[in-house]
Amino acid sequence: MSLFGTSSGFGTGGTGVFGSTTTDSHNPMKDVEVTSPPDDSISCLAFSPPTMPGNFLIGGSWANDVRCWEVQDNGQTVPKAQQMHTGPVLDACWSDDGSRVFTASCDKTAKMWDLNSNQAIQIAQHDGPIKAIHWIKAPNYSCIMTGSWDKTLKFWDTRSPNPMMSLQMPERCYCADVVYPMAVVATAERGLIVYQLENQPSEFRRIESPLKHQHRCVAIFKDKQNKPTGFALGSIEGRVAIHYINPPNPAKDNFTFKCHRSNGTNTTTPQDIYAVNAIAFHPVHGTLATVGSDGRFSFWDKDARTKLKTSEQLDQPITACCFNHNGNIFAYASSYDWSKGHEYYNPQKKNYIFLRNAAEELKPRNKKW
């Protein structure tokens, strides 16, 4: 068994070669491996905004750290910097100008990491772990939004220790997304709340969940005019709901689809249903990617209502994913998400972040409707 540094442990089938090119199931899609991945499960990934030249990727993990890599055009990844929390990092995001990274942790704090100075300071405090953090850039204000298991959604001016605003939620925040002027938060007990952010954040509507199982991930999508118009919501039951906020015909326009399930062709063997761990929309094409506990990622066209691609199965669940600002790179993280409980956790098992060229595979199909 390996005792050194970041070499891969047993379970990969190989001799633990770092950056292995053998076709063992840790990288069946033969995607680019990010160097120096975190040592425990990766909870979140985010690429730098277009305001910054180049591509920088940040990833938070259960090892209490958040790491930053530069992704060069030739595919090489260079670890750049790292920050620590005192508890697992659950979410991270960039400021709109790419100069700062905000991180949220189980230690109930959120930090602002200035990349230029490589300093991080605490900017938020909750009574429970912070599960979601997003930067809001409005014409008349900018702030950080944090959603926590303490059932509150707080907004912070990073210069003040007290929140600018605190909104009570019916339940613990499980996931959130922000595309100005819209924010969506999905909570425990299948809660779903939409907020509007113009002038100042306020609750806009509580929506009855289109899904029957625990909410797990949410991502807002935009219409042809680049305005947020709805969101995709994923649950633990291998299903994603596409929901428009104000569709002309909700019954026809909103729908759900099944994903991340095993076999099932033969009705005698029970079908394994996996959680959808993350959803990300391609910034240019508007198509979406889902990643699941089954260790696969899939690309979908929600307008044509078709699946574009499903990957091979990785040997670990895929816990996070994101696109870079121009949609050329799709990053996904392979690490254990606890979906099978404690017994299947192998701390020796290496965690991976893969990068894939996303320019072609996410092109929309022609509409069927």
Report 81-110 residues binding another protein (CB under 8 A): 81-84, 86-88, 90, 105-108
Report whether 316 contacts 349 (CB < 8 A). Answer: yes
Interface segment toward another protein; rule CB under 8 A; list 213-221, 282-290, 323-331, 357-365: 213-221
The binder of another protein chosen from 142, 306, 313, 326 (CB under 8 A): 306
Regarding 303 and contact with another protein (CB under 8 A), the answer is no
Q: How far is the CB of 24 from another protein (least distance, A)?
A: 19
The binder of another protein chosen from 17, 22, 50, 198 (CB under 8 A): 198
CA dist list (Å): 23 to 2, 33, 205: 20, 13, 48
The binder of another protein chosen from 130, 178, 184, 259 (CB under 8 A): 259
The binder of another protein chosen from 96, 157, 203, 361 (CB under 8 A): 203
C-alpha atoms less than 13 angstroms from C-alpha of 166 in its C-beta half-sphere: 11
Regarding 36 and contact with another protein (CB under 8 A), the answer is yes
The binder of another protein chosen from 22, 51, 72, 258 (CB under 8 A): 258
Q: How many other CB atoms sit within 10 Å of the CB of residue 9?
A: 14
Regarding 363 and contact with another protein (CB under 8 A), the answer is no
What does the alpha-carbon distance between residue 130 and residue 116 come to, in Å, rounded to a whole number? 25
- Residues 143-182: x/- map of binding to another protein (CB under 8 A)? ------x---------------xxxx-xxx-x-----xxx
Q: How far is the CB of 202 from another protein (least distance, A)?
A: 5
Q: Interface residues for another protein in 312-341 (CB under 8 A)?
A: 337-341
Residues 6 or more apart whose Cβ sits within 8 Å of residue 360: none
Q: How far is the CB of 326 from another protein (least distance, A)?
A: 23
Q: Interface residues for another protein in 63-82 (CB under 8 A)?
A: 63-65, 67, 79-82
Q: How far is the CB of 92 from another protein (least distance, A)?
A: 14
Regarding 137 and contact with another protein (CB under 8 A), the answer is no
Closest CB to another protein among residues 150, 328: 150
> What is the signed CA dihedral for 174, 245, 180, 165, rounded to 10 degrees?
-60
CA-atom Rg of the chain in angstroms: 20
Q: How many residues bind another protein (CB under 8 A)?
A: 124
Residues 6 or more apart whose Cβ sits within 8 Å of residue 197: 136, 138, 178, 180, 181, 182, 183
Regarding 25 and contact with another protein (CB under 8 A), the answer is no
Regarding 228 and contact with another protein (CB under 8 A), the answer is yes
Regarding 218 and contact with another protein (CB under 8 A), the answer is no
* DSSP structure class, residue 363: P
Regarding 33 and contact with another protein (CB under 8 A), the answer is no
Of 71, 147, 148, 66, the closest CA to residue 100 belongs to: 66
Report whether 281 contacts 221 (CB < 8 A). Answer: yes
Of 233, 184, 243, 183, the closest CA to residue 213 belongs to: 233
Of 354, 362, 365, the closest CA to residue 20 belongs to: 354
Q: How many other CB atoms sit within 10 Å of the CB of residue 65?
A: 19
Report whether 142 contacts 178 (CB < 8 A). Answer: no
The binder of another protein chosen from 272, 312, 357, 367 (CB under 8 A): 272
Q: How far is the CB of 235 from another protein (least distance, A)?
A: 10
Residues 6 or more apart whose Cβ sits within 8 Å of residue 189: 170, 171
Q: Interface residues for another protein in 105-134 (CB under 8 A)?
A: 105-108, 111, 118-120, 129, 131
Regarding 138 and contact with another protein (CB under 8 A), the answer is no
